[in-house]
Structure 1
């Protein structure tokens, strides 16, 4: 077994909130080891003054000193995990500043996490998995070309996708709503193989990602089972042909959202989650149903409307739906309501996720919602930039999985799954 990834924790409050053991367990489950950097009292005062951010909390002063010790090389680590309570405004400022400072002045992968009295186990585990992956597999994540015949399966919360690739080209695709996790995965894989005229025995390596990645990975005897943060960022820059230099990847999913800052194809900082499904693709699905249209028609309809004419609150999916009903009852046009829904989701993603990553162009939108042109337009208006939507953007997780899985062919992975 490989040595655990040493994860330096910079935090304020997890012991008081009772979540430290959950953080430790999440790290341990992905072969990571949490440790707290040792710094002397005299170093704390010196580093705090040098950093120049005025805070009152002794724990936050300690976190600042620990961050500076990591950047200066006084303490060695493989990755950094920053955690603070979401109720504390001072801690939120320090968390974001430390994340930015470490990212800009070192090569350490860093992720920040805002917790309540109990963590959201799924998103905490995904963050830890991504953090250890970047620390352990930088060479794999630097892969720019797909080789051989590989299959990528993305078992998402709303849809399941499969992509078959051969020598850097997509030769088969499959897509369907997620119902039974394994059946959906088998169906999309069969469709992709059929489109390519191949059999499963022809596949040289398989990669899985998404919510159902472990179950599907076991069923397909996958060579690579990987969380969606690193997979999606890799797939995004690959399809957008932006594998060198900086980029920002936005994935507004069916249940949660991801924002990832990427440099040369490798994630630097990232955040995921969302306070409510009102800021996700689920709200846009509900909007489409209420307007009596297919989700594919929502984007063109929104482009004909003026969202500013309709007050919309998608911070909560319940209140958002109420705003939707009230607007229609008050005589707002379907076009204006569609535009308002798209703008509201974009605004919530901006406030909830994009504040925690350094946005650098190009901004690449991926996932099924990237095909909703009204949403892409609204996001571009908020960020004051032209959004890049690469071809096959809805298959992003499957493409990333197929691309990264090809790294296991040379390592002696056996064909004939």
Structure 2
């Protein structure tokens, strides 16, 4: 059984400890709490260079040191603190950074609320387990044979057909009825590829609808999107050796993943507010009277500094859109300001939780909105790569990984 070390503050007080345990049990993992001495706790200040009053935070830091010194104590680590506590946010980041820099143990950083459920944590826990349990599969660099991948996302459903390391067919449509959307996307990819469905050797599925779709089509691989998307991203960007950072701004949430040699080492998944999502950009396009596919080109003509945009909440962000347009601001300036608003929030919420190393790869449908990668480049002062088929990374990752199961 995979052992996940829980380093947390406030989980019991917030009433979510049982939810954390349920999530771990669901993915076949067990939570462990490394033992530490009083001396270990007293020494954390010298290790981390910071002094805190919280006993739980000091305990979490001491356990982090213990794990680094004795890697056999845990297979993976989850660092969790309450989103209300500023001090805890700093320590959470320091613990995550300390483990990442001093060990090869995969680590997840998460800020919880009193309403966090096991279902909310499921994908995150599953990704930790997958990273440990299927490390050999995740190290795979080539797709072989004839396979398909389906990404059943919250907003769109994508599918690809691959043959011998090449994408030969793609399909895309909005996610409405989950099973039908998956079937339509797969059929479109098969039609473009020119092969017959019965010729497919295996199908892999990822995304929010993976369990339903995977069971329906008898998929050989059903896997969460953290590991699958990161594999698809580094494959398409030709960055499977060495470090990389993957940024995926989706319709419902965002993912930032630190990757080393094609395998996730640390990641965060979240977005407290929809103001940092593709949904906000959809609303922006609608308010400006342009198609979402035209928003990026419009944004490139604008200057975000000409528009004051709220970058926290989708409600107030939309209100800012309306107010700025009423004040006569140029549509292109508003479009670029919206892109910067989303990029800033991802930078502040997600990218502080992972080690950002080049190349930085931006993927997902929002990466095709040209103003967004540009805004991220300006914030990071690092070139951002948007690979071909960036919107299909989940499907590509699934098709690549499932081909590895054919050889077992």
Normalised to the residue count of structure 1, the TM-score between the two structures is 0.96
Q: 2:150 — aligned with what?
A: 153
Structure 2: segments with no counterpart, 5+ residues: none
Alignment of 1:1-400 (within 5 A): 4-73=1-70, 76-400=73-397
CA distance in 2, matches of 1:190, 1:114: 40
Q: Deviations over 1:36-75 (max 9, x none)?
A: 1112223322344333321111111111111111101175
Cα distance change, pair 47–319 in 1 and its aligned pair in 2 (3 A): closer
Shift of 1:92: 1.0
Contact 1:151 1:163 in 2 (8 A): yes
Runs of 4+ aligned structure 1 residues displaced above 4 Å come to none
SS in 2 for 1:327: helix
Structure 1 residues 152-188: Cα deviation after superposition (integer angstroms, max 9, x where no partner) = 0000011000001011011111000111000000011
**How far does residue 332 in structure 1 lie from its aligned partner after superposition?**
0.7
Matches of 2:68 and 2:316 in 1, distance apart?
44
Matches of 1:232 and 1:184, distance apart in 2: 19
**What is the CA distance between 1:120 and its match in structure 2?**
4.8
Distance in 2 (CA, whole Å) between partners of 1:121 and 1:302 is 39
TM-aligned CA distance change 1:74 to 1:276, over 3 Å: closer
C-alpha change, 1:39 and 1:397, in structure 2 (3 Å) is: same
Which deviates more from structure 2 when the two are superposed, residues 352-361 or residues 50-59?
50-59
**For structure 1, which runs of at least 5 residues remain unmatched after alignment?**
412-417
The residue matched to 2:18 in structure 1 has which SS? Answer: helix
- Partner of 1:356, secondary structure, is coil
Partner Cα separation in structure 2 for residue 379 and residue 58 of structure 1: 37
Query: How many aligned residue pairs are there?
Result: 408
